[in-house]
A and B are shown apart, each in its own frame.
Chain A
Amino acid sequence: MMMRSLLTGLAVLVAIAMGCGPVQAEDIVCITCHGALPGKYGEPVKLWQGSIHAENGIACNACHGGDPKDAPNAMKKERGFLGAPKYNDVPEFCGRCHVGVLKDYLASGHGRALTRGGPNCVICHGSHQIVKASLELINEKSCSRCHSYERAKLIRGAMQETEGIIVALDKRIAGYKAVGTDTDRLEKELFSQRNRFHSLFHNVDVKRVTAESTQIQAELKKLDTTLKGLDEQGRKRKLAGAVVVAGALLAGLLVHLLRKTFD
């Protein structure tokens, strides 16, 4: 509570510095206004706040256009406001940024079925509370809304193993990052493979998924080898440490004994 004054002061300082930089997401007029509205007009704000877009500073105007700083004109067409896209326009809407995903989706069974009642992006990912993609999106409840879960289950099974490897590698890399190891290359490589893997999600061809998964696992093995190398280096250092500590203790003991000879 008393920290408030310190934090407010800090926030003010930060806000001042930000006057020259990009507008912080929380200050845009979209959130100020819609955040206070009831029901369906205010809900998207709360949902968005829990999203990965919010985590990365991607706010309302990034997708819906409009003016984030000028309240009276925020939703004017002249300011680039796009509104909420219609069902069939959703893939193009999201695909302005997620170019690769759009391409994969349009080539897939789901994409080709779009105009015949097939799923668009928000059916599986949600529209505002979009979280980091994972295999959890392929589940019985979601898929059986339109068809049986059989094939989806096969695809999920084929990908589960690779997903597990990626998650494990991510954790190990984070562990090394937390001790000052330069994990830049490792992180980027994992990210690249993860993206390549996730582009499979939008492709519903089981054979292709299995083949690609095998290739990706080979690349991931290389990362695993690098991390094993780091593990080994860590072990060697600990061993050297044990020797040094033992040496110091031994020296202390010898000095102690030497001291006693002078009493």
Chain B
Amino acid sequence: MDNNGRRTFLGACLGGIAAGFAAAVLWPVYRYLAPRSGGGASAKVVIPEKDVPEGEAKFFEFAGASAVLVRKRGGELVALSAVCTHLGCIVQWEKEKQDFLCPCHAGHYNADGVVTAGPPPKPLAKLPFSLANGAITVG
């Protein structure tokens, strides 16, 4: 093969690889920039209202982690993550005291998830929920 022929051949091969590289760069960049779809963690959970009487708490699973619905004295509903913000244990509801106690290191939260005693650094995360036709939809 003479020089010119070689050049054309090599040029063509390089062109192919360059196109491959271009695709290998453009595809990830496109995906990186593209707007994200809703996401799988938006699976909602529906709980009938009557399952949460006044002064009681109902624990359920939401977005792969433990969550809790509380109906405070006076009727107000609160939806919280039940994962203790200290080291991740699941908190327990104390009916007599109307608060949450973490059995691992005695962290205390009030019915709104605010830390009242112990090592937890942050309040229990609030979860969005809506009420309609006697059913509570969390998420």
Asked if A and B form a direct contact in the complex, defined as CB atoms under 8 angstroms apart, the reply is yes
Q: Which residues does A use to contact B, with CB under 8 Å?
A: 96-101, 103, 185, 187-189, 191-192, 195, 244, 247, 250-251, 254-255, 257-258, 261
Q: How far is the CA of A195 from the CA of B6 in the complex (A)?
A: 69
Q: Which residues does B use to contact A, with CB under 8 Å?
A: 3, 6-7, 10-11, 13-14, 17-18, 20-21, 24, 64-65, 83, 87-90, 101-106, 118
Nearest CB in chain A: distance from B84 CB, A = 9
Chain B residues with CB under 8 Å of A96's CB are 106
Q: Are B88 and A97 in contact (CB under 8 A)?
A: no
Chain B residues with CB under 8 Å of A257's CB are 6, 10
Nearest CB in chain A: distance from B18 CB, A = 8
Residue of A nearest to B10 (CB): A258
Q: Are A254 and B88 in contact (CB under 8 A)?
A: no
Chain B residues with CB under 8 Å of A97's CB are 105-106, 118
Q: What are some 17 contacts across the A-B interface (CB < 8 A)?
A: A97-B105, A97-B106, A98-B104, A98-B106, A99-B101, A99-B106, A100-B104, A188-B65, A188-B88, A191-B87, A191-B88, A195-B104, A251-B18, A254-B17, A255-B14, A258-B7, A261-B6
Nearest CB in chain B: distance from A247 CB, A = 6
Nearest CB in chain B: distance from A62 CB, A = 10
Nearest CB in chain B: distance from A225 CB, A = 13
Q: How far is the CA of A191 from the CA of B7 in the complex (A)?
A: 63
Q: Are B65 and A261 in contact (CB under 8 A)?
A: no
